[in-house]
């Protein structure tokens, strides 16, 4: 179990989370979201890709807004968000990034898995 900043104890990555086996569901959902966006896109494919990548900046800004609100940094607004809001906004960043990656490459799952493995080896050393 991992203790998070909110004091809650939950399974962390690789700690027996029952969702571990549902990775395929995640990618199937990402593919459906990408297909839905594609079906409603009236822009050239390169422009659509650029806009999906730029959407990440918007989502990251919403994370920043939620963090500022969670700590009450703005005296005019006070505490306007919770750490659960921050979690939700981080999830929006992840989903947006996965959709953008899926737009860029037909095998986003393999691309991400290979990249995470490289980052882990660089940071943690060989497995």
Q: Residue 1 — pLDDT band, cuts 50, 70, 90? A: very low
69 CB contacts (<8 Å, ≥6 apart)? Answer: 77, 79, 80, 81, 85
Query: 87-104, pLDDT tens digit by residue?
Result: 999 999 999 999 999 999
Using alpha carbons, select from 49, 59, 55 the residue that is nearest to residue 92: 59
Question: Considering the entire predicted model, what is its pTM?
Answer: 0.79
> What residues pair up with 9 in beta bridges, in sequence order?
3
Distance CA 35, CA 10 (A): 33
């Amino acid at each position: 179990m991992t203790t998070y900043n909110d004091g809650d104890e939950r399974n962390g990555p690789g700690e027996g989370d029952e969702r571990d086996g549902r990775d395929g569901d995640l990618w199937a959902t990402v593919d459906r979201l990408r297909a839905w966006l594609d079906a409603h896109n009236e822009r050239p494919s390169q422009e659509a890709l650029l806009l999906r990548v730029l959407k990440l900046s918007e989502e990251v800004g919403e994370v920043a807004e939620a963090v500022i609100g969670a700590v009450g940094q703005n005296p005019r607004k006070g505490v306007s968000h919770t750490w659960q809001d921050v979690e939700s906004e981080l999830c929006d960043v992840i989903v947006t990034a996965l959709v953008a990656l899926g737009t860029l490459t037909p095998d986003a799952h393999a691309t991400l898995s290979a990249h995470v493995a490289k980052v882990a080896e660089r940071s943690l050393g060989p497995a």
